[in-house]
């Protein structure tokens, strides 16, 4: 069964550095998402992406964050000037018709900011 | 309460027993979905119930939806130790473009 893949599985970075989290969504899906989960807490929506542009973003997704689909397969989340509170699991997801269908999640990237 | 708030927060049962988890939400929805998350892993979709449906089954899972009470329940029958995980409800809010809004989750422990 097709799956969403995320790399790296774990990223350690120093405060103030930039990180890029990578995702390969399921190939025929049209909607792409980033969510994050601080340890043991709720799964928080960051951004959704459709038709090569952001369709919705949360208050968390400020100027520090950006997303890109640089080619036909990858979907990236860039976090500039990382802060300690950015430490979390970041999940990429994709779906074929948005929220009206199941989301398929990757196994996440654990970001640790020191 | 928040959109997609589950209860209880934690549930511990014996293998073979049934597990019932509840979810309440605040606004009108197109559908409600339940997901499972094993420790340190991604979320896995379990079942989707549309706003015009009242009950849905999938294997040992039974989901109900009461739109008048803005609530849903997930029943896992004849639980197994392998059902130990966190369970989340997620709502596709009417007019909300494309995202799903997740609750805080329920930690289910099934004792062998």
pLDDT category at B96 given cuts 50, 70, 90 is: low
The structure tokens listed for A113 are 């900011």
* SS3 track for B57-103: EECCEEEEEECCCCEEEEEECCCCHHHCEEEEEEEEECCCCCCCEEC
B29-37/B43-50 β-pairing: antiparallel
The verdict on a CB contact (< 8 Å) between B41 and A101 is no
Instruction: Compare CB distances from A45 to B33, B99, B103 and report the shortest one's residue.
Output: B99
pLDDT digits 0-9 by tens, A22-38:
999 999 899 999 999 99
pLDDT digits 0-9 by tens, A55-85:
999 999 999 999 999 887 899 999 999 999 9
Q: Does B59 touch chain A (CB under 8 A)?
A: no
- Whole-number pLDDT of residue A70: 86
Distance between CA atoms of residues A48 and B105, nearest Å: 21
- Whole-number pLDDT of residue A41: 82
- Whole-number pLDDT of residue B97: 64
Given a contact cutoff of 8 angstroms between Cβ atoms, the answer to whether A21 and A75 are in contact is no
- pLDDT (average), residues B49-68: 97
Contacts of B86 in chain A (CB under 8 A): none
Contacts of B100 in chain A (CB under 8 A): 45, 99, 103
Distance between CA atoms of residues A103 and B43, nearest Å: 9
Residue B1 predicted with pLDDT over 60: no
Contacts of A54 in chain B (CB under 8 A): none
The verdict on a CB contact (< 8 Å) between A108 and B99 is no
Tell me the nearest-neighbour CA distance from A81 into chain B, angstroms: 26
- Of B24-28, B51-55, B90-94, give the lowest mean pLDDT range: B90-94
Percent of chain B at pLDDT exceeding 70:
96
The verdict on a CB contact (< 8 Å) between A103 and B45 is yes
Which of A46, A103, A106 to mutate to test binding with chain B, by most B CBs within 10 Å of its CB? Answer: A103
- pLDDT (average), residues B33-42: 93
- Whole-number pLDDT of residue A10: 97
């Amino acid at each position: 069964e097709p799956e969403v893949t995320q790399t790296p599985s774990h990223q350690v970075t120093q405060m103030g550095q930039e990180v890029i989290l990578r995702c390969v969504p399921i190939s025929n899906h049209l909607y792409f998402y980033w969510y994050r989960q601080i340890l043991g807490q709720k799964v928080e929506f960051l951004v959704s992406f459709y038709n090569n542009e952001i369709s919705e973003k949360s208050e968390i997704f400020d100027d520090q964050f950006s997303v890109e689909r640089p080619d036909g397969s990858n979907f990236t989340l860039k976090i500039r000037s990382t802060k300690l509170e950015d430490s979390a699991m970041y999940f990429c997801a994709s779906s074929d018709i948005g929220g009206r269908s199941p989301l398929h999640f990757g196994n996440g990237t654990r970001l640790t900011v020191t | 309460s928040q959109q997609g708030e589950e209860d209880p927060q934690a549930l511990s049962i014996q293998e073979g027993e049934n597990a019932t988890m509840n979810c309440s939400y605040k606004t009108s929805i197109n559908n409600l979905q339940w997901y499972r998350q094993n420790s340190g892993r991604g979320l896995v979709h379990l079942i989707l119930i549309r706003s015009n449906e009242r009950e849905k089954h999938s294997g040992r899972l039974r989901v109900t939806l009461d739109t008048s009470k803005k609530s849903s329940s997930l029943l896992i029958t004849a639980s197994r130790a392998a059902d130990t995980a966190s369970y989340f409800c997620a709502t596709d809010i009417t007019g909300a473009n494309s995202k799903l809004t997740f609750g805080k989750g329920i930690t289910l422990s099934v004792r062998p």
